[in-house]
Structure 1
Amino acid sequence: MLSKKAHTGRHSTGARKFMMGGTSLFLFLFLASLLTGCAGNTQDSQDLSGKLSISGSTALKPLVDVAAKEFMHQHPQVTIKVAGGGSKTGLKNVNDKVSDIGNSDIYVDPALYPDPNMTDHIICVAPFVMIVHPDITVKSLSKEQLIDILSNGKITNWNQIEGGKDQPIHPIVRPATSGTRATFRKYILGGADELVGTPLNADDTDAVVNKVATTPGAIGYIGLSALKPTVKTVAIDNYTPTAQTISDGKYNFWSYEHMYTLGDNTPLLTQFLAFMTSPAIQKKAHDLSYITTEEIKPPKAAILPEQPFNRSSLALSFSHESEVTRRESYN
């Protein structure tokens, strides 16, 4: 897990050595100790109990839903409730102690949340995609065209774009609480805001998909993990999101997915956070179209000067990156 706080793993107890040809009593005691150890591990698992409340990013929610379900299956005495609401809602909820974990597409703003216990746990990377109504024939849009469609309103009909037919454009706008909107605004619109289109009342990725799918001429954006065959995707500057295009800096519509906590010193919280970056859940992330931290190369700007890249320095590199090269706008 990529976190600004170090986590200490549980060390397993080594089995006692015994001499071949030892007495039967010694062998009995050895076997008894193994059985006792196994029973203790089982008891530890059974004793893990309690409740976790998680809210925030709808882009990360599909993965958290899967992980929560599996974690509760492994630990029947644990209850985990996962809600959306948008990244900024998640950050506020964890800061106000309404949620134990706040999921976010964006880094926390220390001016808004100065608590030194606010801890960032980077889980994976979420690629975002532009989606359009299935009747749209345009294959790619430039950043300039997206600004003209969504911000200044210079482009209002699909026939103003190569490959488009005569049909009004209907942008679907996510609410201000959306971290995906903040990412889109900063990295695709160049800091401009969305000033035209139909605003949604709540940050719900499925609602975006359904609205675009049922509105002729519609365009919107979602996390790739939420893509459905009811809509089409449109490339940005002829690039689609892959680990390679993101690592090369050719596709900029993506974000690190964070889980923020106000400290993580309870056994349940600590184990669930570790579970989120376990090989099993990271495989689920890959299957759900997220990009794992093993698949992506941190941008060159993320590496500290004269510091060679290695996995052990990844958390430090991402921390530097968060402050310098991919800091979100909160205006």
Structure 2
Amino acid sequence: MSDVPWELILAIIGVLVPIAAFLWEFVVVGRKRLGYRVQMDTTPTRIGTNYAGAWQRLDREDGKRLTDPSFALLRVENVGSAPIDESDYASPEGEKVGLWARFPGRKVAGVVVTELSDSALEPYFVGADCGLGTHDVESETGTVGTVSLPKVKLNPRAHYKVLVVLERAGAGEFAEPDVVGTVSGGGDGKILRTKGQTGTPPTGTPRWAGALIAFLLMVGLAEPLIFELTEGEAVPLECAAGELTVVGSTAFESVLDEAVVTYENSCPEADIALQLGNSHDGLRDLNDRASAELLAFSDGEKGEQMPALVPRPMALLLFTVVINPKAGVHELSSPDLRRVFDGQVRNWQELGGRDLPVRIVDREADSGTRATFEERVLGRREPGENTGNCAAEPQGEVVRCRREGTSGLLDAVSKTPGAIGYSEVEAANDHQGVRPVLIDGQAATPDAVEEGVYPYWQTEYAYTYGVPASGSLPMSFMRYLTDQRGADIIRSHDKSPCQDLRNHVSCRPDQR
């Protein structure tokens, strides 16, 4: 049994079963589905009727008061995965009515549309012949108040609500209201009761879904036991002893902080020190010292000036433009960003923001974050700084100040109204005083980078002086960052390990 690839078999089952269930539910039987909820169906009790006020004055059109009036609120919604068009309703072509809401034992006194998920739905309910109407049907079992509902085009998750005023038309308790109709393209096409109806338990999760969850849970619980029986102990970490100093980019600092602690906990004979500043200084320090006990991290490649340094791509690093929230700007186009950092925009009002002067907070010239911003967003070098005071009043030109390190820049932007800068994404998201800015309508995500629609990213490299020995501490620590444990640490800090990308060998996302 030990040669049976149980982990592969269980993994395939765990993937194929939910895919098959999804396709069955949402493609085969559930592509087009209408649902409804009875969100309210109530009549007042006779307790406190002396204070009922307007309720007692509910009248019919002929002026007579309603008998035991009641209210019902219906929500009709698209609960499928595809839009429902007017032609999907199973009623004759040219007929405006698509659905009927029925209220056994009651007559309909009036109906009004109370809520539309999208204003584009309004035309379906306007006009005498729109399909919205009321009538009472007499049958052997008594009166059934009926509301006809028009053929409304509904996108997935779109909905509308109608409030129905009713009165009693017989003795005894009211029967539950229902909505009838049929649409093509999903199972039997009948409109479904969804969660939230009054008087009956919600339909909730289908039984097959509960069974599927139980099955997958059993697979998940069985998998570690099978692995233990068939594979034995996990492959141990290849620890190395000695001392190592890590220098370079602060943009990767959160990852390195955690990785160093976890590595040293597993490998107590290793001593790793972090001395991070910026990418260029770290590379220069490694090149000047030519040390095998030094590891440098850099946002981007080193260039051609240091031929002895050997790079290894580690992760896709995402950056974002950040702004002080008081500026009132949430999004900037690439051309507008270039105008801002070129000093052509003096006040945020020029870009639809508030009446605040633009103040630019830069990183130091050797910063990899700044170099990436200049290369991928601006397409040119930034002008030099003109003051050390980020809050200084403009004197004929846009204020430009400089701060060292990611945290220093973020603090300056958060404390300075009208300030704008740039940062690694995780640090920006964790800082409460700044707002990340969308670039060309795109947030900083790995998918947006791989699709070629988000420009501000860089590859994070680890550099050594020459090729380290296979059993050395630098090689062991780099290997740790690229195995499953290190990759999980990288992911937990809003970064993408190179092996997660389509172009993972060089960690260069596909450019389109």
Both structures adopt the same fold (TM-score exceeding 0.5)? yes
1:192 and 1:178 map into 2 onto residues whose CA distance is 13
- Determine the structure 2 residue equivalent to 1:187: 376
Provide the rounded CA distance (Å) in 2 between the counterparts of 1:284 and 1:147: 34
SS class of match (2:280): helix
Asked if 1 retains the 8 angstrom alpha-carbon contact of 2:481 and 2:487, the reply is yes
Residues 1:106 and 2:307 aligned together: no
The match for 2:438 among 216, 225, 235 is 235
Cα displacement (A) at 1:77:
2.1
Q: For residue 294 of structure 2, what is the amino acid of its counterpart?
A: D
* Gap runs ≥5 in structure 1: 1-37, 299-313, 326-331
Q: Deviations over 1:226-252 (max 9, x none)?
A: 122221111111111112110011001
Q: Which residue of structure 2 lines up, in the alignment, with residue 158 of structure 1? A: 348
Name the amino acid aligned to 2:287. N
Q: Which residue of 2 aligns with 1:308?
A: none
How far is 1:95 from its partner?
Answer: 0.9
1:271 & 1:234 partners in 2: Cα distance? 38
- Look up the SS of the partner of 1:167 in the other structure: coil
Higher relative contact order (CA 8 A, sep 6+): 1
**Cα separation, 2, equivalents of 1:279 and 1:230:** 34
Task: Check whether the contact 2:361–2:401 (CA below 8 A) recurs between aligned residues.
Answer: yes
- Which of these residues, 249, 253, 275, is aligned with residue 480 of structure 2? 275
Q: Output the CA distance in 1 between the equivalents of 2:274 and 2:383.
A: 29
What does the per-residue CA deviation read over 1:8-49, in whole Å, with 9 as the maximum and x for residues that have no partner? xxxxxxxxxxxxxxxxxxxxxxxxxxxxxx9xx89x85xx32
Structure 2: 5+ residue stretches without partners: 1-232, 385-397
| SS of residue matched to 2:251 | coil
* Counterpart-to-counterpart distance in 1, 2:307 and 2:269: 34
Root-mean-square deviation (Å): 2.2
2:468 to 264, 272, 282: 264
Cα deviation, residue 197, structure 1: 4.2
| Partner SS state of residue 55, structure 1 | strand
Deviation at 1:269, TM superposition (A): 1.5
**Structure 1 residue 132 corresponds to structure 2 residue 354:** no
Task: State how far apart, in whole Å, the 1-side matches of 2:500 and 2:399 are.
Answer: 36
In 1, Cα distance between equivalents of 2:422 and 2:323: 8
Match of 2:230 in 1: none
The secondary structure found in structure 1 opposite 2:340 is helix
Q: Distance in 2 between matches of 1:129 and 1:212?
A: 13
**Residue in 2 aligned with 1:89?**
281
Letter in 2 for 1:68: V
Cα displacement string for residues 181-239 of structure 1 (whole angstroms, at most 9, x for unaligned residues): 1110011001242445433353x111111111111111111001212222111111111
Moved more, 254-263 or 91-100: 91-100
User: Identity across aligned pairs (percent)?
Assistant: 26
- Name the aligned partner's letter for residue 402 of structure 2: L
**What's 2:23 paired with?**
none
Please state whether the residue corresponding to 1:275 is helix, strand or coil.
helix
CA distance in 1, matches of 2:502, 2:401: 35
Residue 143 (str. 1) matches residue 345 (str. 2): no
Q: Secondary structure at the match of 1:83?
A: strand
Map of 1:73 onto structure 2? 265
How many residues in Structure 1 have an aligned counterpart in Structure 2? 257
1:248-300 superposed Cα distances (whole Å, 9 cap, x missing partner): 110010001001001221521111110111212211211111122233333xx
Change over 3 Å in CA distance of 1:201–1:106 after alignment to 2: same
Secondary structure of the structure 1 residue equivalent to 2:498: coil
The answer to whether the 8 Å contact 2:314/2:482 transfers is yes
Separation (CA, whole Å) in 2 of partners of 1:137 and 1:261: 44
Measured in 1, the distance between the counterparts of 2:426 and 2:271 equals 24
SS in 2 for 1:216: coil
Which deviates more from structure 2 when the two are superposed, residues 164-173 or residues 257-266?
257-266
Instruction: Work out the CA distance in 2 between the residues paired with 1:254 and 1:63.
Output: 17
Equivalent residues in 2 for 1:22-33 (5 A)? none
Q: Distance in 1 between matches of 2:399 and 2:270?
A: 43
More strand by share: 2
Contact between 2:320 and 2:437, CA under 8 Å: does it hold in 1? yes
2:500 corresponds to: 295
C-alpha distance in 2 between matches for 1:230 and 1:278 = 35
Deviations for 1:60-87, whole angstroms, at most 9, x for unmatched residues?
Answer: 1111111111111112221111122111
Q: CA contact under 8 A between 2:377 and 2:455: conserved in structure 1?
A: yes
In structure 1, the partner of 2:359 is 170
> What's the TM-score once normalised by structure 2's chain length?
0.48
* SS state at 2:303 partner: coil
Does structure 2 conserve the Cα–Cα contact (< 8 Å) formed by 1:173 and 1:197?
A: no
Give, in whole Å, the separation in 2 of the partners of 1:134 and 1:280.
37
